């Protein structure tokens, strides 16, 4: 049985011990990201209070349970309730597609986090909408950074998922994504997307 990641909400003592050990052994602030619960949100407040007592300095909460994964709609109400119970900053996360949506949702929270909406769309944090040429140049720059960090082969393998996100909504996007799934070199990206 998986006992890490979001599954730790089923084992509050272990989760708190991990946070305690990390916070005890670093001078850096320790932030934790959790979901509302495993199947429901029944122990959210108790779980989060345990993390706070163990040394968490900030908590980000995704508005779905682990069982929901990314289905359904994120529920922000339990996050607002949780904020009223904690002394540490609480950040909300889930279903935000723009900065404007984040500012609408923040209410009593200390901030918001944009997640999946940023994949293939780093402009989500601005009001700027780039044209196709600017997107293409950004993609190539991202590929180069990935290669510098991981090396040519692994850098391109790591980029595959990002390339699929970058090309959502492009003309012939399905065909582009099929071609991009097997890329191994930057030249292939240039050839596929530079047309």
CATH number at residue 149: 1.10.1200
* Residue 124 domain-assigned (yes or no): no
pLDDT tens per residue across span 78-90: 999 999 999 999 9
Q: 32 and 88: one domain? A: yes
* Residue 123 domain-assigned (yes or no): no
Residues 41 and 28: their CA atoms lie apart, in Å, by 29
Most confident of 89-93, 176-180, 191-195: 89-93
- Entry pTM: 0.84
pLDDT tens per residue across span 107-152: 999 999 999 999 999 999 988 889 889 999 999 999 999 999 999 9
| Orientation of helix 44-54 relative to helix 12-24, angle to 10° | 20
Q: 158 and 108: one domain? A: no
Q: 114 and 27: one domain? A: yes
Predicted local distance difference test score (pLDDT) of residue 176: 87
Q: How far apart are the first and last CA of the chain?
A: 48
User: Would the pLDDT of 1 be above 60?
Assistant: no
């Amino acid at each position: 049985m998986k006992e890490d990641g979001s599954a730790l909400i089923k084992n509050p003592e272990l989760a708190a011990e991990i946070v305690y050990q990390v916070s005890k052994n670093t001078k850096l602030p320790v932030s934790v990201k959790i979901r509302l619960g495993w199947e429901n949100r029944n122990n959210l407040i108790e779980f989060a209070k345990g993390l706070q007592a163990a040394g968490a300095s900030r908590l980000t909460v995704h508005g779905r349970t682990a069982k929901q994964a990314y289905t359904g709609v994120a529920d922000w109400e339990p996050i607002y309730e949780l904020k009223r119970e904690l002394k540490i900053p609480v950040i909300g996360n889930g279903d935000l597609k723009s900065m404007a949506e984040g500012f609408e949702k923040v209410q009593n929270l200390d901030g918001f986090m944009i997640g999946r909406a940023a994949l293939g769309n780093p402009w989500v944090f601005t009001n700027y909408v780039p044209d196709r040429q600017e997107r293409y140049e950004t993609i190539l720059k991202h590929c180069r950074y990935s290669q510098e960090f991981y090396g040519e082969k692994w850098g391109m393998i790591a980029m595959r998922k990002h390339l699929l996100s970058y090309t959502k909504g492009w003309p012939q996007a399905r065909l582009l994504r099929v071609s991009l799934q097997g890329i191994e070199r930057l030249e292939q990206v240039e050839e596929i997307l530079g047309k």
